[in-house]
Amino acid sequence: MQKFIDLRSDTVTQPTQAMRQAMAEAPVGDDVFGEDPTVNEIQNRVAEMCGKEAALFVPSGTMGNQTALKTHTQPGDEIICEYGAHIFNYEGGAPGLLSGAQIYPVPGKRGVITAEQIEKVIRKPNAHFPNTRVIEIENTHNRAGGAIFPLDEIKKIVKVAQQHKLKMHLDGARLWNAHVATGVAFSDYCSGFDSISLCFSKGLGAPVGSIVVGSQSFIQRAHRFRKIFGGGMRQVGILAAAALYALDHHIGRLAEDHQRAAALARCLAECGAEVDMHATQTNIVIADFESFHLSAPQLAKEFENQGVLCIAFSDTRIRFVTHLDITDDSIEKTCQVTKNLLC
């Protein structure tokens, strides 16, 4: 069987042997009753890291985001986000389905929307309009190639939200990457947000799990919606133990993923692909092949035939993601395949 270099996503990682051992040895209890000590430990640790009062372990990033949005909104409300945001593009229309809320997507630059842009689209009181209720930010931004949302702009947006009495939600699935790339503390990134979701099963390499963070009262309300959405789990400390192991051992090493992504981005650019090197700040590389005679899906298939898996993001763009299971040798081989196909 051919062994592929899998650059489709950082969700494809396999638990390390040490992580599996931690899972096997985890003390557990019934989390629906709040009695799983390993879940309680990770909830307390991540809440403290983010400078918040409480946290809630959930199965997935989508459940984390949607539980938070459901807790913040009422049917008929509106959520402002950037046009490429995960909650708008990749969560199955969940805000409308689960919360009865609609999305107002604002086109940004490298995944960033400004306080000025947001101020202009906040709804004025009028019976014809939905109620603007939440401003959502994604950091790092997937469709923007892992770009980091600048902290200075976040602070400006928080001021706008406070002036208009709006809630702030951070989709921080890859906030770990932003922290490692910039050195900005998690608590600084999370300050001003009413809720934050973070993912353990992407760059940190855990097999399952995300977490929602916020105030004690917010988490109490969110707990009910997690139950309604089917996220109430029992002896789930087995999974929380993997996340705890990842917190202790896999955050700092994200810098290696960033270095490898940068090396791959340079290789792709040298072979004629259009790569926004400024946006390639973490572990995601998006290359545009519009000038080539093959479409992105066709090129992705050619990469696969050469032993490299990647994802076509559109007719012209392909995404490559580095992660725990990608080595320097993996990047060297991918660059050689790239040169064979493109140069």
Measure Cα distances from 286 to 4, 48, 296 in Å.
19, 34, 11
Q: For residue 153, give the amino acid letter.
A: E
Query: What local confidence, expressed as pLDDT, does residue 291 receive?
Result: 87
pLDDT by residue (tens digit) across 126-149? Answer: 999 999 999 999 999 999 999 999
Pair of tokens at residue 205: 């390499």
Common-topology check for domains 17-249 and 253-342: no
The percent of residues in the chain predicted with pLDDT above 90, rounded, is: 96
Query: What local confidence, expressed as pLDDT, does residue 293 receive?
Result: 85
Write down the residue that tokens 């602070």 correspond to: 155
Pair of tokens at residue 172: 């921080």
Element (DSSP H or E) covering residue 320? strand 317-321
Are residues 57 and 31 in contact, defined by beta-carbon separation less than 8 angstroms?
Answer: yes
Query: What local confidence, expressed as pLDDT, does residue 2 receive?
Result: 64
| Domain residue extents for the chain | 17-249, 253-342
* Low-confidence residues in the chain, pLDDT < 50: none
Query: What local confidence, expressed as pLDDT, does residue 80 receive?
Result: 98
**How far apart (Å, rounded) are the C-alpha atoms in residues 82 and 110?**
10
Q: For residue 54, give the amino acid letter.
A: A
Are residues 222 and 59 in contact, defined by beta-carbon separation less than 8 angstroms?
Answer: no
CATH of 17-249, one of 3.40.190.10, 3.40.640.10, 3.90.1170.40, 3.40.50.300: 3.40.640.10
Are residues 86 and 93 in contact, defined by beta-carbon separation less than 8 angstroms?
Answer: no
What is the pTM for the complete model shown?
Answer: 0.95
Phi-psi region of 165 (alpha: psi -120 to 50; beta: other; left: phi over 0): left
Query: What local confidence, expressed as pLDDT, does residue 227 receive?
Result: 95
Which residues 6+ apart lie within 8 Å of 206 measured at CB? 15, 19, 200, 239, 242, 243, 245, 246
Quote the mean pLDDT of the chain.
Answer: 96
Query: What local confidence, expressed as pLDDT, does residue 88 receive?
Result: 98
Tell me which fold the domain 253-342 belongs to.
Answer: Aspartate Aminotransferase, domain 1 (3.90.1150)
Cβ neighbours around 219 below 10 Å, total: 23
Query: What local confidence, expressed as pLDDT, does residue 297 receive?
Result: 96
Query: What local confidence, expressed as pLDDT, does residue 343 receive?
Result: 82
